[in-house]
């Protein structure tokens, strides 16, 4: 078990290194010179050269890569060209918006999807199942940013009940912050809820007729209790796996939703950095996203190892 773990962690580090090299080269290949963007169309060549030196862009590629990598290992992610502040701080500030947003979206989607999925499985091929299926397909098909716009039109513009966007900051109060994240979380949760409903329905359907559920019913438990206490917990493994994978999608999918709701989250930072060619920020954010995906996959792998003894035996 320990040796598998060590091997997995080693491959994780190597993957991250390869990814970092890829990120760096791709960012370097991107057309556009950050110095030229900063100084606009009137800048003279010597001003551009001065700024390139100031930003360290005049160094050769391998030197810049190693310097960046060494910095990352020390926990120094470099300075943003546009903001002029350390990137680590920028990312941390943005995570204070994006992580709560993603968590809220997950909670909301589970709250909607699990009951819907379970009920659809119980009444499978019935009207409820059909309607739930239809709804989940619609929610998968409808883009989250569009749902966001509709929510803004209804709750902010027309009814004036919710803020139209923006984020007051957590120091404005926990509830003010939560309030600002509620609509974006709903928009973000909807497509996830659609996917999860399908997964939950299939999973419950599979275990519903297993022996242990039948035994539970035979013991005289009501249908509802048999399903919720015995079938659902056993059907949760694929749902939880899906959630783990969805989490990274949620963080990435937040880019558009954060733009619509004008939330200062990580997605918007990435978007802004890209259009400004704030390359250091781009590299760090993409590395962070990649690290997150790699870590999530690692955790899912680990979970399988824990759940399924056959995998453990096979690996030895």
Residue 6 as a binder of another protein (CB under 8 A): the answer is no
For residue 281, how many C-alpha atoms fall within 13 Å in the half-sphere facing its CB? 27
How many positions of this chain bind another protein (CB under 8 A)? Answer: 66
Site string for another protein, 169-188 (x = CB under 8 A): x-----x--xx--x------
> In DSSP terms, which residues pair with 79 in a beta bridge?
86
Nearest to 185 by CA among 266, 91, 261, 264: 261
Report the residue from 2, 3, 29, 31 that binds another protein according to the rule CB under 8 A: 31
> Both tokens of residue 79?
């300075």
Q: In angstroms, what is the minimal distance from the CB of 215 to another protein?
A: 22
Give the whole-angstrom CA distance, residue 264 versus residue 218.
55
For the chain, report the end-to-end CA distance as a whole number of angstroms: 8
Site string for another protein, 216-255 (x = CB under 8 A): --------x---x---------------------------
Site string for another protein, 136-165 (x = CB under 8 A): -------------x--xx-xxx-xxxxxxx
Give the whole-angstrom CA distance, residue 133 versus residue 141.
12
Residue 37 as a binder of another protein (CB under 8 A): the answer is yes
With contacts defined by CB under 8 A, name the span among 28-36, 198-206, 207-215, 235-243 that binds another protein. Answer: 28-36
CB 297 within 8 A of CB 290: no
Give the whole-angstrom CA distance, residue 64 versus residue 61.
5
Of residues 111 and 134, the one with the C-beta less far from another protein:
111
Give the whole-angstrom CA distance, residue 148 versus residue 176.
19
Give the whole-angstrom CA distance, residue 202 versus residue 133.
11
Q: In angstroms, what is the minimal distance from the CB of 201 to another protein?
A: 14
Residue 30 as a binder of another protein (CB under 8 A): the answer is yes
Q: In angstroms, what is the minimal distance from the CB of 136 to another protein?
A: 16
Q: In angstroms, what is the minimal distance from the CB of 310 to another protein?
A: 34
Residue 115 as a binder of another protein (CB under 8 A): the answer is yes
> Both tokens of residue 161?
């009940």
Of residues 228 and 298, the one with the C-beta less far from another protein:
228
With contacts defined by CB under 8 A, name the span among 10-18, 34-42, 199-207, 235-243 that binds another protein. Answer: 34-42
> In DSSP terms, which residues pair with 86 in a beta bridge?
79
Q: In angstroms, what is the minimal distance from the CB of 102 to another protein?
A: 17
Q: In angstroms, what is the minimal distance from the CB of 66 to another protein?
A: 25
49, 87, 203, 241, 281 from 129: Cα distances, Å: 65, 48, 14, 23, 46
Give the whole-angstrom CA distance, residue 165 versus residue 159.
14
Neighbours of 208 (CB within 10 A): 20
Residues in contact with another protein by CB under 8 A are 30-33, 36-44, 46-47, 50-51, 53-54, 81-85, 90, 93-94, 108, 111-112, 115, 119, 149, 152-153, 155-157, 159-167, 169, 175, 178-179, 182, 224, 228, 259-262, 264-265, 268-269, 272, 275-277
């Amino acid at each position: 078990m320990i040796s598998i773990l060590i091997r997995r962690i080693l491959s994780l580090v190597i993957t991250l290194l390869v990814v970092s090299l890829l990120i760096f080269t791709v960012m370097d290949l991107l057309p556009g010179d950050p110095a030229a963007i900063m100084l606009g169309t009137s800048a003279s060549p010597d001003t551009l050269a001065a700024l390139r030196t100031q930003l360290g862009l005049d160094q050769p590629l391998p030197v810049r890569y190693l310097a960046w990598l060494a910095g990352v290992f020390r926990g120094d992610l470099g300075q943003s060209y546009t903001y002029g502040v350390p990137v680590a701080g920028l990312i941390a500030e943005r995570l204070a918006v994006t992580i709560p947003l993603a968590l809220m979206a997950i909670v909301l989607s589970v709250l909607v999807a699990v009951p819907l999925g379970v009920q659809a499985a119980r009444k499978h091929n019935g009207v409820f199942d059909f309607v739930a299926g239809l709804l989940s397909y619609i929610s998968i098909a409808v883009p989250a940013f569009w749902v966001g716009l509709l929510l803004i039109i209804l709750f902010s513009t027309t009814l004036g009940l919710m803020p139209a966007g923006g984020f007051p900051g957590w120091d404005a109060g926990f509830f003010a912050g939560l309030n600002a994240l509620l609509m974006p979380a709903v928009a973000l949760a909807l497509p996830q809820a659609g996917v999860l409903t399908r997964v939950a329905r299939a999973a419950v359907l599979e275990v519903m007729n297993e022996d242990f559920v039948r035994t539970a019913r035979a013991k005289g438990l009501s249908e509802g209790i048999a399903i919720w206490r015995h079938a659902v917990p056993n059907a949760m493994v694929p749902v939880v796996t899906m959630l783990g994978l969805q989490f990274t999608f949620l963080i990435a999918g937040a880019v558009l939703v954060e733009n619509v709701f004008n939330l200062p989250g990580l997605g918007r930072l990435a978007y802004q950095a890209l259009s400004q060619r704030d390359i250091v920020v781009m590299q760090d954010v993409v590395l962070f996203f990649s690290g997150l995906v790699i870590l999530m996959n690692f955790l899912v792998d680990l979970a399988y190892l824990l759940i399924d003894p056959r995998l453990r035996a096979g690996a030895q």
